[in-house]
């Protein structure tokens, strides 16, 4: 298995070539740093490329069409699933939201998409898998989907269409006018080579942007891994502290997710004794409830709807946190 060979090689490098003591904090930290940096960068490169490639087959118009036709519950599920694989440049939040409303996508379904998209971000998932294992990652994905679907259904049921900013409807008129005058995108006809080139460019660009953060985060993680005694955190943030989950969620909200950067930290914290549920809640709070995104969404959502959105998310994330703390 590749990771084992890598671990052997890194062990050789750090303990034999560099002469560090495996039992020492320094040896442990350096080993962790080198191993995880290499593993994460390889994983990131391969999977970002693969996802970018498959994503090139999905266009925003196809997504709108697919979601517009669905009825409520199925629509929420589909929206959440599609949210995972679509790229969600937060600058796209407003146009996408407006576009969805314009094509008749039910409000609740749109929200399922809006929740799933940033929370279940492929870079974050890869890193999480590579660092804490695929079981926890699967739990994260399934919980995230569950929250996206249920929250979307609840919002749909609350009939909050009136709480969408009138700005949205003004913009819809503009879109309709544009489409009426023939300004629409004809279906994508990309060749395989074009898709590969675009994916390659995207991968290189994304790696360039996130690698510094990832390395710093792994560095911090390495230090904690090597120097902080195991279970140190259990005393403070462990199962004994019932407020740990809400606190984790509150800390997560104002943090702007460079999802990539947070994860190595989360992984090490879990390693040092933070209960899995608390860690997951923290991750979800960081990615799904980011302050910058809320500010952007304020343009299309009236305060009441925005507040309800945030509240439902915060509560469900906290609930998931408690649930997993209880069962693990």
Partner 1 sequence: MKIAVYGPGCANCQNLEKNTKQAVKEIGLGAEITQIKEIDQILEAGIIATPGLAIDGEIKSMGRVPSVEEIKKWIKAKM
Q: Which is nearer to partner 1, 161 or 205 (CB)?
A: 205
Q: Which is nearer to partner 1, 56 or 241 (CB)?
A: 56
- The vertex-290 CA angle with 211 and 272, nearest 5°, equals 60
3-state secondary structure of 22: coil
Considering the complex, what minimum distance in angstroms separates the CB of residue 50 from partner 1? 16
CB 214 within 8 A of CB 127: yes
Q: Which is nearer to partner 1, 72 or 201 (CB)?
A: 201
CB 55 within 8 A of CB 123: no
Q: What does the binding site for partner 1 look like in residue numbers (CB under 8 A)?
A: 55-56, 59-61, 64, 87, 89-92, 94-96, 98-99, 102, 171, 174-175, 177-179, 183-185, 188, 190, 194, 197-198, 201-202, 205, 209, 299
Q: Which is nearer to partner 1, 204 or 311 (CB)?
A: 204
Give the CA distances from residue 77 to residues 38, 106, 141, 150, 328, in Å, rounded to whole numbers and listed in that order: 36, 13, 13, 9, 27
Q: Which is nearer to partner 1, 23 or 89 (CB)?
A: 89
Considering the complex, what minimum distance in angstroms separates the CB of residue 1 from partner 1? 35
Considering the complex, what minimum distance in angstroms separates the CB of residue 210 from partner 1? 11
46-50: long-range contacts (C-beta < 8 A, 24 or more apart)? 47/122, 47/126, 48/122, 48/123, 48/126, 48/202, 48/203, 48/206, 48/207, 49/199, 49/200, 49/203
Q: Which is nearer to partner 1, 135 or 190 (CB)?
A: 190
Closest listed residue to residue 125, CA positions, set 200, 44, 54, 46 = 44
Considering the complex, what minimum distance in angstroms separates the CB of residue 141 from partner 1? 23
Considering the complex, what minimum distance in angstroms separates the CB of residue 173 from partner 1? 9
Instruction: For residues 268 and 68, give the distance between their C-alpha atoms in angstroms, rounded to a whole number.
Output: 42
Considering the complex, what minimum distance in angstroms separates the CB of residue 99 from partner 1? 3
For residue 161, the 8-state DSSP code is G
């Amino acid at each position: 298995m590749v990771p084992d060979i890598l671990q052997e090689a890194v062990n050789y490098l750090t303990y034999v070539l560099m002469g560090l003591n495996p039992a020492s904090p320094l040896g442990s930290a350096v080993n962790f740093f080198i191993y995880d940096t290499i593993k994460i960068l390889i994983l990131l490169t391969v999977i970002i490329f693969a996802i970018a490639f498959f994503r090139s087959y999905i266009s925003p118009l196809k997504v709108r069409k697919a979601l517009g036709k669905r009825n409520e519950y199925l629509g929420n599920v589909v929206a959440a699933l599609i949210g995972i694989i679509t790229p969600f440049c937060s600058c796209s939040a407003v146009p996408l939201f407006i576009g969805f409303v314009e094509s008749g996508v039910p409000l609740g379904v749109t929200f399922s998409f809006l929740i799933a998209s940033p929370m279940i971000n492929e870079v974050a998932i890869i890193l999480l898998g590579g660092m804490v294992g695929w079981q926890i990652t699967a739990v994260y994905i399934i919980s995230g989907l569950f929250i996206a679907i249920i929250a979307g259904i609840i919002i749909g049921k609350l009939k909050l269409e009136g709480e969408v900013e009138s700005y949205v409807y003004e913009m819809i008129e503009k879109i309709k006018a544009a489409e009426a005058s023939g300004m629409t995108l004809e279906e994508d006809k990309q060749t395989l080579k074009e898709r590969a080139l675009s994916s390659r460019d995207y991968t290189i660009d994304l790696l360039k942007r996130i690698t510094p953060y990832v390395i710093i985060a792994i560095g911090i993680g390495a230090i904690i891994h090597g120097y902080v005694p195991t279970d140190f955190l259990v005393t403070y943030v462990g199962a004994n502290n019932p407020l740990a989950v809400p606190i984790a969620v509150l800390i997560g909200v104002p943090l702007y997710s460079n999802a990539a950067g947070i994860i190595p930290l989360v992984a090490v914290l879990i390693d040092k004794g933070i209960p899995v549920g608390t860690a997951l809640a923290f991750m979800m709070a960081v990615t799904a409830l980011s302050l910058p995104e809320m500010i952007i969404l304020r343009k299309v959502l009236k305060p009441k709807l925005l507040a309800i959105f945030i509240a439902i998310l915060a509560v469900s994330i906290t609930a998931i946190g408690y649930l997993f703390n209880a069962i693990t």
